[in-house]
Chains A and B, each alone.
Chain A
Amino acid sequence: MEALLLDLALGAYLIGTIAAGAALVRPDERAARLAVLALAAGFLLGFAIVLVRSLELGVLAVSTGAEQTALFAWLLVGVYLVAQVRGRLVVLGALIGPIGFAGTLAALASAGRAAAVPDLLRSPWLPVHVTLAVAGDAAFALAGLVSAIYLWQEHQLKAHASRRALARLPSLETLDRMSFRLLLWGFLTLTLSVLAGLLWAELTHGRLLNWEPRTIWTMIVWLVYALLLHARLTVGWGGRRAARLTIAGFGVLALSLIGVNLLAPGSHTGAYG
């Protein structure tokens, strides 16, 4: 069952990527529509895979690194699908498709793992914490991508460059607003995730914070995005500067995810116990 779903999801992402690429090269409504449909199918299949695996395990299957990677990719696709309702984001679809594909591959690599789940992970707060954290990461990642497209479009407009063979990008205004909304949602989700994590630590370990590298990094990330949102909301920063900072913010986040997992093992790297 799961193997079939994985194959279907891989196919959906492949089709979505190709269709979005085709719609990017030359305007074609049908290709653009097919891309969105295929990515939506990929998202639903990813959702189904998590569900099937979770039912087998008896807990939400989001505790290993591979599962979190897959969840990240699928949620990214999900957030994209919501975002593209408002603006034509075919370009983004061509970038998101491969990410969904890679995430599904990660799920494929981790398929059929032993069903032994330590009691520590059976707390309901852990999956909530992890899912929210991954959803927040996905929103921040998409905000970064949207900001990159903003900078590209902005650069082209300044340089009076034509759009040549590229399909229509959304307007600067749309991209700016979309990036802001994604930041807002990402920040909200991250905050809730931190609260759930604190609760879990308090309930299982008896203390709120354990001061391991990932915890500290998360605080830094939270602070970076808090400052960015503050600048946008009260100082009125927008446009190019905000786009660059959004990308930088995601850089810090990516560093904390990759760096900490590789260099500083702890309870956040999947090595629980």
Chain B
Amino acid sequence: MSGAGARGRVETLRPRRREGELVVVGLSHHSAPVELRERVAVAPEHVGAAALRLRAALQAHELVLVSTCNRLEVVAMTEAGDPLEAFAAELTRHHELPRAGLEGHLYLHHGRGALRHLFRVASSLDSMILGEPQILGQIKEQYRQAAAVSAASGGLKRCFERAFRVAKRVRTETGVGQLGVSMAAAAVDLASRIFDDLGDKTVMLIGAGEMAELAARHFRTAGARGLIFVNRSFDRAVELARGFGGTPVPLERIEPYLPMADVVVSSVGGAGWILGPSHFNEALRQRRRRPMFLIDLGVPRNFDPALNDIEGIYLYDVDDLDRVAEEHRERRASEARRAESIIEEEVKRYWSHLRDDEVRPTIVALRDKAEEIRRVELERALRSLPAASDAERAVLEAMSAAIVNKLLHGPLVALKELAREEAAAVEEAAEMVRRMFALEESPPASAARDEDEGAES
């Protein structure tokens, strides 16, 4: 941005309001501790009001507020000289924070960097859990809210729509969101290698600790039909069963229920309690050898390791699951690298598209003006040469066109190159061209066409 004086002149030349620059400013789990994130968090019902406040504070033409548990940021088209300062001031004011509280916890991305950030967030590459699928839905919803109050209509709208497409591409072309990285998620993932559909499967959970609850939640989310809670203290089993809508069973009555269980997750603490092959004879017979998936989260272990040798039984203990989860993390990381290169490619493509947009009106105006002059002068010349043959007319025509093209070639190429190089000078260069050639503010494409038609009639 140049000084105020220069901009003043620019404004007189160009009455149409500019869209401003694309910026992202905010804070996330990468930059701010949870104590700060929770203080500035915006409840879903207040997102609209918060967005309006921030839009005013940032003097933004368009603005979308992205608010999740782990981030609060705005994507905006703004001309504010210091968006970071404006954002910080508004947050400090509204949440009554000490000004120093935000120090060093905010980030600001301009232009191309902002575009990249938006693409990465939408594709869940910036998430706390890499590749988690919820973020895209959240952003889409918040974008819809902004679009509803027309806070995202022009350039920002196109950026978000492109971001959604990029996110979709990342999801279909890489496996970044496919593998669960927690132990419970790894267990669900393993179960899906054995069973086709958890929707008609029953999961038995032995033990009533945090592990059992976590596993129950994961299997329920994955669609498991029935849950059986087995516990030494029957009261606690009932409590869990009520919470999840399952069946409570006291530990000493477990055996009659084993045949129903397709998956058994055991997480009983304390030594001296174990299920061995003899406990499963009856279950396997009744199940007609349909497979059983046993997950041993107990330390010391709750299942006899010999169970894994029985046909139709697949036994995984804590270490096995941890290894699977670790492999999933590695896989995810390598898929994330592929995703990053997709992002890079998309940013490059869309950014040069946007930059071309910057100079396109100037280029069009310049071409139109040159063509207009050429035509007028050519007609005048031809009028004073009434005897000219068709061949001579053609020569004059070609010569005038060649002069115009060769003269314009240099400035046009220079403008396009400036745009590609994302030099900050491109706007001023475009202005310079306008002033040197005394170009009118280039009207939108449709208006330009009207003008041409008017001139011809």
A153 CB-CB contact with B under 8 Å: yes
Q: Is the CB of A172 within 8 A of B320?
A: no
Residue of B nearest to A237 (CB): B289
Residue of A nearest to B262 (CB): A173
Q: Which of A87, A158, A162, A238 is within 8 Å of B314, CB to CB?
A: A158
Whole-angstrom distance between the Cβ of B263 and the nearest chain A Cβ: 13
Q: Is the CB of A173 within 8 A of B194?
A: yes
Residue of B nearest to A157 (CB): B314
Stretch at the interface among B10-18, B29-37, B170-178, B350-358: B170-178
Q: Which residues of A contact B375 (CB under 8 A)?
A: none
B288 CB-CB contact with A under 8 Å: yes
Q: Which of A28, A30, A169, A236 is within 8 Å of B288, CB to CB?
A: A236
B190 CB-CB contact with A under 8 Å: yes
A270 CB-CB contact with B under 8 Å: no
Given contacts A30-B173, A171-B196, contact A239 B291 (CB under 8 A): yes
Q: Which residues of A contact B323 (CB under 8 A)?
A: 160, 162
Interface residues of A in 215-253 (CB under 8 A from B): 236-241
B327 CB-CB contact with A under 8 Å: yes
Q: Bound state CA distance, A173 and B174, in angstroms?
A: 26
Interface residues of B in 162-212 (CB under 8 A from A): 172-175, 178, 190, 192-196
Q: Is the CB of B172 within 8 A of A29?
A: yes
Given contacts A173-B291, A236-B288, contact A160 B196 (CB under 8 A): no
Q: Which residues of A contact B338 (CB under 8 A)?
A: 26
Q: Is the CB of B311 within 8 A of A239?
A: yes
Q: Is the CB of A169 within 8 A of B172?
A: no
Q: Is the CB of B312 within 8 A of A239?
A: yes
Give the A-B contact count at a CB cut-off of 8 A: 61
Q: Bound state CA distance, A41 and B175, in angstroms?
A: 27
Q: Which residues of B contact A205 (CB under 8 A)?
A: none
Q: Which residues of A contact B324 (CB under 8 A)?
A: 160, 162
Q: Is the CB of A238 within 8 A of B173?
A: no
Q: Which residues of A contact B59 (CB under 8 A)?
A: none
A122 CB-CB contact with B under 8 Å: no
A27 CB-CB contact with B under 8 Å: yes
Main secondary structure of the interface of A (DSSP, over half): loop
Q: Is the CB of A169 within 8 A of B193?
A: yes
Q: Which residues of B contact A28 (CB under 8 A)?
A: 172-174
Residue of A nearest to B338 (CB): A26
Whole-angstrom distance between the Cβ of B355 and the nearest chain A Cβ: 29
A177 CB-CB contact with B under 8 Å: yes
Q: Which residues of B contact A236 (CB under 8 A)?
A: 288-289
Q: Is the CB of A157 within 8 A of B193?
A: yes
A174 CB-CB contact with B under 8 Å: yes
Q: Which residues of A contact B308 (CB under 8 A)?
A: 158
Interface residues of B in 251-292 (CB under 8 A from A): 288-291
Q: Which residues of A contact B172 (CB under 8 A)?
A: 28-30
Q: Bound state CA distance, A28 and B175, in angstroms?
A: 7
Q: Bound state CA distance, A148 and B348, in angstroms?
A: 46
Whole-angstrom distance between the Cβ of B298 and the nearest chain A Cβ: 17
Given contacts A29-B172, A30-B172, contact A160 B316 (CB under 8 A): yes
Given contacts A157-B190, A236-B289, A239-B289, contact A173 B175 (CB under 8 A): no
Give the size range of B's interface with the partner: 20 to 34
Proximity bits, B315-341, A CB within 8 Å = 1, else 0: 010001001100100000001001000
Q: Bound state CA distance, A160 and B294, in angstroms?
A: 12
Q: Which residues of B contact A153 (CB under 8 A)?
A: 193
Q: Is the CB of A238 within 8 A of B290?
A: yes
Q: Which of A26, A27, A171, A241 is within 8 Å of B193, CB to CB?
A: A171
Residue of B nearest to A162 (CB): B327
Proximity bits, A12-28, B CB within 8 Å = 1, else 0: 00000000000000111
Whole-angstrom distance between the Cβ of A22 and the nearest chain B Cβ: 11
Q: Which of B173, B192, B288, B314 is within 8 Å of A29, CB to CB?
A: B173
Whole-angstrom distance between the Cβ of B123 and the nearest chain A Cβ: 15
Interface centre among A87, A164, A172, A240 (most CB of B within 10 A): A172
Interface centre among B174, B195, B196, B338 (most CB of A within 10 A): B196
Q: Is the CB of B196 within 8 A of A26?
A: no
Q: Is the CB of A171 within 8 A of B173?
A: no
Q: Is the CB of A27 within 8 A of B174?
A: yes
Q: Bound state CA distance, A238 and B287, in angstroms?
A: 11
Q: Which of A26, A30, A162, A171 is within 8 Å of B192, CB to CB?
A: A171
Q: Which residues of A contact B311 (CB under 8 A)?
A: 239-241
Residue of A nearest to B312 (CB): A239
Q: Is the CB of B316 within 8 A of A173?
A: no
Whole-angstrom distance between the Cβ of B31 and the nearest chain A Cβ: 31
Proximity bits, A178-211, B CB within 8 Å = 1, else 0: 0000000000000000000000000000000000
Q: Which residues of B contact A162 (CB under 8 A)?
A: 323-324, 327
Whole-angstrom distance between the Cβ of A167 and the nearest chain B Cβ: 8
Q: Which residues of A contact B178 (CB under 8 A)?
A: 27, 168
Proximity bits, A144-159, B CB within 8 Å = 1, else 0: 0000000001000110
A residues sitting closer than 8 Å to B (CB atoms) are 26-30, 87, 153, 157-158, 160, 162-164, 168-174, 177, 236-241
Can you list 8 residue pairs at the A/B interface with Cβ under 8 Å? A27-B175, A157-B193, A157-B194, A160-B316, A171-B194, A173-B196, A174-B196, A239-B311
B residues sitting closer than 8 Å to A (CB atoms) are 172-175, 178, 190, 192-196, 288-291, 308, 311-312, 314, 316, 320, 323-324, 327, 335, 338
Nearest 10 pairs of A and B residues by beta carbon? A27-B175, A29-B172, A173-B196, A236-B288, A174-B196, A162-B327, A160-B320, A171-B196, A172-B194, A157-B314
User: Known contacts A29-B172, A29-B173, A157-B190; can you find 15 more A-B pairs with CB under 8 A?
Assistant: A28-B172, A157-B194, A158-B314, A160-B323, A162-B323, A162-B324, A171-B192, A171-B195, A173-B196, A173-B291, A174-B196, A236-B288, A237-B289, A238-B289, A239-B291
